[in-house]
Chain A
């Protein structure tokens, strides 16, 4: 069979070859390009309208390449569609200001949230969608594949092999999507060496490597100074350990970042030990190497930890505990955000973390009316993954208690993931933690979003813990009952003041609402003396000097 015209099947490859040819003048030895030629390299390989990824997450950042992208000539490079995990450096926003990029699809904006909202209002930026990490990675393999990816690692050799080590994070998922659609992968590294400790990204996935003038920026996001943990956080942590971890026998879990979860970690070797829970709870974690977990690890609580990313100063400690962490043949940890997110989605029994606001229905969000922030990976952890099919004790027990289950799938036995929100009824400056309507709804209007950005939806949320007690929301048989349970834990906020004491009494009888007293938690013991470590220095001592905290956390 013949056809009149010959269909071309390799346009992507031809295009890539053209770009690589244009870049040739800047290539020194192998795949090495000098830092001073980086801007010209970007002008040579990026075409107007390209989908471009600048690697970066809540930890490591391809900051040098981001700055270089700000310096390209907008006459040559413009209308880019950025597809990347985060907008967190000012350079990530500058490319829009300068007319180099036009559209963005992302998952988390953190510190740039306010500026992003302004840009959207001023029409400087066309907002695609706000994703979760896994969702965005998924779209890298569907309709948001980067044409050019600007990645980051510790070391490269001249053949383009990369060592991303402890902070591997997002690099594999980006590089694979880009390269296997014939895209261009450029990496900035702290140094170019002859021999790498190990190869994290093979050289034939990488087109160019550049030694950046300064080491890449990395945020110690998961370090919490125990000196700042408050008595009320300790009280909530005690309730969590007794009323949730012990109650369900939670063995496999993820802790969100924050002082609330740091308090739980520091109570395991003291309060947890006292309750005889060692070995029964908190054996396996999906989380970054939290320094506050050191005392629990050292006390023999933890069997395994897989990490989304590294944490500054924890590398030596982690390396010395290879039975606990995922360690490469070279002896150093490899993190991987994609796999950790996957495990956090399907393999844990409980997610626990803080939030900014919970509405009267139990939807929660960290969005405020003037900032477009996104949630990164929290919604992947903070939901009941519908594709889960394996059973564990905690999952099964929570499923048995699920009062709406029969309405949804009859008498079929099924488990349920625990999704726990820790909330202070009033936050700093007396901002209420429970509200009639989330600020996310206002944000949807001001920023013209498709839907209000909700971090965790009410139907996924199983427990709320406040200083008033624990609401076991999944035990509620109706939305009306669930709203009453939320009022019971909402304290003296407007939502909480609507509480009907008689109704709350009924919820207590049914075990849907439990106060600290009901749980047998002694409130008078809720003070800092219960913390296994009270300062960052205590953490260093627990680690036997292996933890090397970043300068901003050292008060010695």
Chain B
């Protein structure tokens, strides 16, 4: 649908109807807050120092992108998959295995422009296969199967020394150097992460309004009816897994470039669940949710220790804090922080101009 609008805009001067449709398709363009956030993100290297740029904002963008893939599956497909981090981790491992690293007996030493697409393709295939497995059953079973896949991958990477380097993992993974720039430099890497995150964000936004995304949402709401209308329900679900896997794989590539190493600890079950927490805390109804959730998560993870110590508590209880926060969100706001924000705004608007809504009913 958006594609049609785009061509229309180019061929004729923007009519009001076309413009309305465009705004409906891309609501960010009308929202001053969105422009402001985008501007802040672009000039971030001028504001923040290296620590904040990478440890806070870079990590937020990476985790947010991985959580975005879960948001796409859960929000539009109704499938809560706990293996998105596993797919990202698989892609990270593949970058390390095909590319250059200190573990020369494992790494094949391909240049980055060959290793990265290979890793993306393999991780997407891996996620699609896992998805094809998960859609054999429905609803609540998806969580169990994807969690089992994630946990099995974690134990496998721990046991396997030939490909995955056992529990020490693969270290000193090489990062790309092109045009004389080291892309692992703080500023350069930040822009890479920002670019990937922005592309993924708009891709999800676009797909959610494309015919495929609309059909997927139909499948989420009423699979039997969609099947009766002639849609192949399982094919749509598997395709959604493929798309989400690709996004997660991109996140995984960024992650391995960021830390320059990958080990089973990065794909542990706790880390898989962290991604779910990020998506749920942020809100799985809109693509911006995972990034908000990731920001809150990273801030908490980085500063919880100081904060807890300041209140005279044990600084090691970060996971307890995360768990309790997650429980609170699940208890009181099923669509996360976005839901809280929207409820707060609605209450403000209904409090002042009451008469305008009254005429509605």
- Does A pair with B? no
